[in-house]
């Protein structure tokens, strides 16, 4: 080793990596110690060195107490070297190796300093791209200092082509999959560092680089079971938001994550504010963060809203989002098979894909959000009052949908449902998060004969309307819906001039009708109904009699809906009001469980219910599909899917809809990790992955691309001979040689099954399904027969489309 690098005198080696060595050196000019990092690449690349030198000069402009500054950058014998301030102490990896997991308060303090450094760099347009414990120094005063911005790049979604830069265990999913880096990528890496501070362990352990990267890209990172109970749910949620695989669900900046940590440590007090309404909203949000269900609800609602509001709406994307929640999937299917939705022309529906096709994206959004909201109101101390508020909100939505359906003006009836359901969101939130304050407001209504809004202002310091609007905005609801949450002024309502005004009219009308039902004595209801009909006579083309019949129809539908979600109307005052109005009894085709019963249906009931068209919750969770209860459940789902396809094939179907329903049925029935459809491309004589189901299916599908020129591997044999093949263990010596290299590189699955789709002996398509661990796929003879029936129906659809 040379005793000099440039003018610097080498003292000793401090550490080394795959492409670098760090030395302690002396600067003879300034008489000080420095740290020098040399970079040596396998191939000498002058252009790369010039780029890195430019980046180093850019980073050298950063000045922050939590950043190790670069003093100088130059080349020597084709290798680049960077000169840093020498910081005595340990790097964070060494520090954690000695200390182990840190207490949350200490971990947060270190993390705040790291985020301050990253935020400072981001403000200068610099992305770190290799944030990890070994690049964070803890000096002798225990001050964290971030270093090694030497491979950083200007912000702007930089693409890196095919070459990876950084450390695999600390890369963001979007960088692994798409080679894009931005501020949110650094936030993900910061989340991994925070995980390590809290647990003392790397979030994604292992030495197999490809497996580590695949796990980051495909699986949500969660705290170990043995340590998750040590942290508040609020802190765990904060960590999980930083580690969200979807960049849009992450903190949008290091500064925002820093603020979240500050908020976590801040005392839970309501600070004085010039605007008391905003103070109450802030206080409500802080209280929500203590409850695990609010983050789950808000993120789920936000995700569904984001997809359905997109200009490039994708049935596959919506279906995949819903299918991630097994309970939501089955509850949604049970609802779409209720009498009301069957009248929409759907018949028996057993897949989310077909529900979207038959009912439309907005209708599925309405149902999914309704289910999510209901699920988060169960089993609370004030469950009875919450169910009453939910029932009232749902009736408002149904009323608006029915009124809009009779309107002479074209209007999106599902938007009317959502707007009306959330018109009084503030009351629902108040009952959930402020039960004592809500009880006080009700006492004021009775004793002081004041309005609900006056009571809310006195007790909460904010109207329920403003409260609901504030939260709806945090949930990402479109402006159209948020604006409809504002009540109309007193007096007669004029005819609305645009869709936004019409939605507001329908939301107000339906909720005023609900108020009559909830708050007016039976003998006064007809009189109040006449007042409402007069007030809205110009705005809505329904006379009093039509309004009355619409109300009766809506009450009947809500009664049916209550049975579907197992809500006993007799247990709530509002429910008893509905029954007193004379709503029709529960339809016999629905199944109502008694209080205290299992949330799923018994196995014998499940089979009967599915033949009647109501898909019920299985008694097993998604990750228990391999257990002994699987055959009955999977056969029932397969049979329902076959019936679904039969209904589609006799109609004017689209081939994509048939194929999507086929794949989703297979995916749900057997609990596969992923199911992918491949189609033959005649021009290149190749089999190409098109779409699929599963967390990473869209990305994995892109890897399925192989020539149909015969080679003796499993995929070619299945297609050439038209045989279904189940591989129980890809590592079995008897079969491993037949697994193609492209597959092993792209997919970390040890067991899979192939169903070829052949016409006249030629493979035109292929259905691939897998599980992670060897031996996890077990298919009974009856299941195989049903799977083949599904495949044959897909082949029939292809033939009819040619």
Q: Tell me what the mean pLDDT of segment 282-301 comes to.
A: 53
Residues 234-287: tens digit of each pLDDT: 788 899 999 999 898 899 899 999 988 888 876 444 344 455 566 666 666 666
Residues 613-660: tens digit of each pLDDT: 222 222 223 333 233 334 457 888 888 888 888 877 767 778 888 898
- For position 417, what pLDDT does the model report? 78
What is the domain class of 4-85 according to CATH?
alpha beta
Q: Residue 527 to residues 520, 531, 534, 755: CA-CA distances in angstroms? A: 10, 7, 11, 65
Delimit the CATH 1.10.510.10 region(s) of the chain. Answer: 90-267
Q: Which of 594, 102, 586 is nearest to 338 (CA)?
A: 586
Structure tokens at 509: 């009308």
Residue 161: pLDDT band (50, 70, 90) is very low
Delimit the CATH 3.30.200.20 region(s) of the chain. Answer: 4-85
- For position 268, what pLDDT does the model report? 43
Residues 65-114: tens digit of each pLDDT: 899 888 888 888 777 888 888 988 889 999 999 888 888 888 999 999 99
Q: Tell me what the mean pLDDT of segment 291-317 comes to.
A: 52
> What are the DSSP E strand ranges found in 151-217?
153-154, 158-159, 180-181
What CATH topology corresponds to 90-267? Transferase(Phosphotransferase); domain 1 (1.10.510)
d(CA 464, CA 455): 10
- pLDDT of residue 371 exceeding 90, the answer is no
d(CA 484, CA 502): 9
- For position 708, what pLDDT does the model report? 92
The DSSP result for 80-149, as a single string, is EEEEEE---EEEHHHHHHHH-SPPHHHHHHHHHHHHHHHHHHHHTTEE-S---GGGEEEETT--EEE--G
d(CA 664, CA 350): 10
- For position 230, what pLDDT does the model report? 67
- pLDDT of residue 596 exceeding 50, the answer is no
Residue 481: pLDDT band (50, 70, 90) is confident
Q: Residue 32 to residues 14, 71, 771: CA-CA distances in angstroms? A: 16, 12, 59
Q: Tell me what the mean pLDDT of segment 743-758 comes to.
A: 92
* CATH number, domain 648-801: 3.30.450.40
Decide if 446 contacts 427 (C-beta within 8 A): no
First to last CA, the chain: 71
Cβ neighbours of 31 (radius 10 Å): 7
3 state DSSP class of 183: helix
Residues 28-54: tens digit of each pLDDT: 888 889 999 887 765 666 776 777 777
Residues 425-456: tens digit of each pLDDT: 888 778 777 778 888 888 887 776 778 888 88
| Average pLDDT along the chain | 77
Q: Which of 217, 197, 214, 198 is nearest to 206 (CA)?
A: 214
Structure tokens at 526: 């007809």
- For position 305, what pLDDT does the model report? 58
d(CA 57, CA 73): 7
Q: Tell me what the mean pLDDT of segment 16-31 comes to.
A: 83
Delimit the CATH 3.30.450.40 region(s) of the chain. Answer: 648-801
């Amino acid at each position: 080793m040379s005793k000099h690098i440039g003018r610097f005198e080498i003292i000793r080696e401090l550490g080394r990596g795959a492409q670098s060595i760090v030395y302690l050196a002396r600067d003879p000019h300034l008489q000080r110690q420095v740290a020098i990092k040399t970079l040596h690449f396998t191939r000498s690349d002058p252009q790369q060195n010039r780029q890195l030198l430019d980046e180093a000069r850019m980073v050298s402009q950063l000045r922050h107490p939590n950043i190790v500054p670069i003093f100088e950058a130059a080349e020597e014998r084709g290798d680049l070297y960077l000169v840093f301030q020498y910081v005595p102490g340990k790097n964070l990896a060494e520090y954690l190796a000695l200390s182990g997991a840190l207490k949350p308060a200490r971990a947060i303090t270190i993390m705040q300093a790291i985020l301050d450094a990253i935020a400072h760099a981001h403000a200068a347009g610099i992305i770190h791209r290799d944030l990890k414990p070994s690049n964070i120094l803890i000096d002798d005063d225990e001050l964290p200092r971030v270093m090694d911005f030497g491979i950083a790049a200007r912000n702007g979604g930089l693409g890196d082509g095919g070459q990876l830069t950084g450390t695999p265990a600390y890369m963001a999913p979007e960088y692994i999959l798409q080679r894009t880096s931005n501020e949110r990528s650094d936030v993900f890496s910061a989340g991994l560092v925070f995980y390590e501070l809290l647990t003392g362990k790397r979030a994604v352990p292992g030495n197999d680089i490809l497996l580590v990267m695949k796990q980051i890209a495909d699986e949500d990172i969660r705290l170990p079971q043995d340590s998750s109970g040590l942290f508040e749910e609020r802190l765990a949620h904060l960590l999980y938001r930083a580690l969200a695989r979807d960049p849009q669900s992450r903190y949008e900046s290091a500064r925002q994550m820093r603020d979240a940590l500050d908020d976590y440590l801040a005392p839970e007090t309501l600070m004085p504010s010039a605007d008391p309404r905003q103070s109450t909203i802030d206080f409500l949000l802080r209280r929500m963060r203590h409850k695990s269900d609010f983050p789950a609800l808000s993120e789920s609602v936000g995700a569904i809203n984001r997809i359905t509001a997109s200009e490039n709406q994708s049935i596959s994307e919506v279906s995949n989002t819903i299918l991630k929640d097994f309970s939501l999937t089955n509850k949604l299917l049970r609802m779409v098979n209720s009498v009301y939705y069957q009248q929409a022309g759907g018949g028996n529906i057993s897949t989310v894909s077909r529900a979207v096709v038959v009912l439309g994206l907005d209708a599925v959004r309405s149902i999914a959000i309704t289910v999510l909201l209901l699920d988060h109101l169960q089993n609370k101390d004030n469950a009875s009052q919450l169910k009453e508020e939910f029932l009232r909100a749902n009736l408002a939505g149904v009323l608006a949908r029915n009124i809009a359906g009779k309107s002479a003006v074209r209007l999106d009836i599902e938007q009317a449902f959502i707007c009306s359901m959330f018109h009084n969101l503030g009351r629902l939130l108040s009952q959930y998060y402020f039960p004592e304050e809500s009880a006080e407001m009700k006492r004021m209504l009775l004793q002081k004969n004041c309005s609900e809004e006056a009571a809310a202002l006195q007790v909460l310091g904010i109207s329920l309307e403003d409260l609901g609007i504030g939260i709806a905005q945090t949930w990402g609801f479109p402006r159209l819906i948020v604006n409809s949450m504002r009540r109309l002024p007193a007096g007669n309502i004029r005819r609305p001039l645009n869709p936004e005004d019409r939605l507001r009219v329908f939301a107000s009308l339906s909720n005023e009708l609900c108020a009559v039902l909830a708050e007016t004595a039976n003998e006064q209801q007809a009189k109040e109904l006449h007042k409402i009909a007069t007030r809205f006579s110009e705005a809505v083309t329904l006379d009093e009699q039509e309004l009355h019949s619409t109300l009766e129809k809506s009450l009947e539908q809500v009664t049916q809906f209550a049975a579907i979600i197992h809500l006993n109307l007799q247990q709530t005052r509002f429910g008893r009001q509905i029954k007193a109005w004379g709503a029709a009894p529960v339809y016999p085709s629905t199944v109502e469980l008694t209080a205290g019963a299992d949330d799923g249906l018994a196995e014998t009931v499940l089979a009967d219910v599915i033949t009647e068209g109501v898909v019920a919750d299985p008694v097993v969770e998604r990750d228990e599909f391999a257990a002994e209860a699987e055959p009955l459940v999977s056969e029932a789902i397969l049979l329902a899917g076959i019936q679904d396809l039969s209904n589609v094939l006799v109609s004017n179907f689209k081939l994509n809809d048939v194929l999507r329903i086929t794949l989703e049925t297979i995916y749900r029935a057997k609990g596969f990790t992923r199911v992918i459809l491949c189609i033959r491309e005649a021009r290149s004589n190749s089999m190409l992955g098109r779409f699929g189901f599963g967390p990473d299916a869209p990305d994995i599908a892109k890897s399925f691309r192989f020539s149909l020129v015969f080679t003796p591997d499993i995929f070619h044999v299945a297609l050439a001979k038209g045989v279904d093949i189940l591989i129980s263990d890809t590592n079995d010596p008897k079969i491993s040689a037949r697994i193609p290299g492209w597959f092993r590189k792209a997919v970390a699955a040890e067991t899979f099954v192939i169903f070829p789709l052949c016409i006249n002996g030629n493979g035109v398509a292929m259905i691939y399904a897998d599980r992670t661990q060897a031996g996890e796929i077990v298919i009974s003879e009856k299941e195989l027969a049903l799977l083949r029936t599904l495949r044959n129906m897909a082949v029939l659809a292809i033939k009819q489309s040619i």
